[in-house]
């Protein structure tokens, strides 16, 4: 099984279909989000640092963990932009686990070690320019963490300018 995500179709936050191959040639950091999660404060740090380095952050809201994302897609946009000034791309709410697990989460969670379902909000997956999942990070790994930055740079897919 390939670990490329390019053939997966997702729903934008406004309900439109979008194929992930639209990001071909771009480095992606994909994560599941929840407004009421304690890790949500990380959201505002992704935009500036990573956008300057050429990374594209894709956020998929999820209500799988202790119902921490009960909001509608429209409410999620309003909350994310007003509370955390989020400018990264938000997608429609997905199931990250269980029988209704979205194909994007199914592919992400089986592509790199350690494999297995997402255990909490703000799990992060790094995707290279070829659409291949190359790394997975736990929720507690902060956007400015040396572990995340070093992994991105060691994969030679981006340089995080002014990040340290």
Give the CA distances from residue 160 to residues 46, 87, 99, 127, 142, in Å, rounded to whole numbers and listed in that order: 11, 18, 37, 15, 14
- Classify the C-alpha dihedral 79-84-86-92 as positive or negative: negative
Count the Cβ atoms, other than its own, within 10 Å of residue 15: 8
Active site residue 37: yes
For the chain, helix (H) and strand (E) counts, in that order, are 4, 7
- Catalytic option among 5, 27, 29, 37: 37
Sheet with strand 89-90: strands edge to edge: 89-90, 55-61, 27-33, 124-127, 133-137
Whole-number Å distance between alpha carbons of 143 and 149: 8
Catalytic residues: 37
């Amino acid at each position: 099984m390939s670990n490329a995500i390019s053939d997966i179709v997702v729903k934008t936050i406004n309900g439109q279909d979008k194929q992930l191959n639209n990001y071909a040639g771009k480095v992606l950091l994909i994560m599941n989000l929840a407004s009421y999660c304690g890790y949500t404060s990380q959201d505002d740090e992704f935009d500036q640092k990573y956008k300057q380095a050429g990374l594209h952050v894709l956020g998929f809201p999820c209500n799988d963990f202790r119902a921490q994302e009960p909001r509608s897609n429209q409410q999620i946009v309003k909350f994310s932009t007003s509370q955390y000034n989020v400018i990264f791309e938000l997608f429609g709410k997905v199931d990250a686990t269980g029988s209704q697990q979205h194909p994007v989460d199914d592919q992400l969670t089986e592509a790199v070690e350690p494999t297995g379902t997402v255990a909490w909000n703000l799990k992060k997956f790094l995707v290279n320019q070829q659409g291949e999942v190359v790394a997975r990070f736990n929720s507690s790994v902060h956007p400015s963490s040396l572990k995340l930055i070093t992994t991105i740079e060691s994969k030679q897919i981006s340089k995080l300018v002014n990040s340290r």
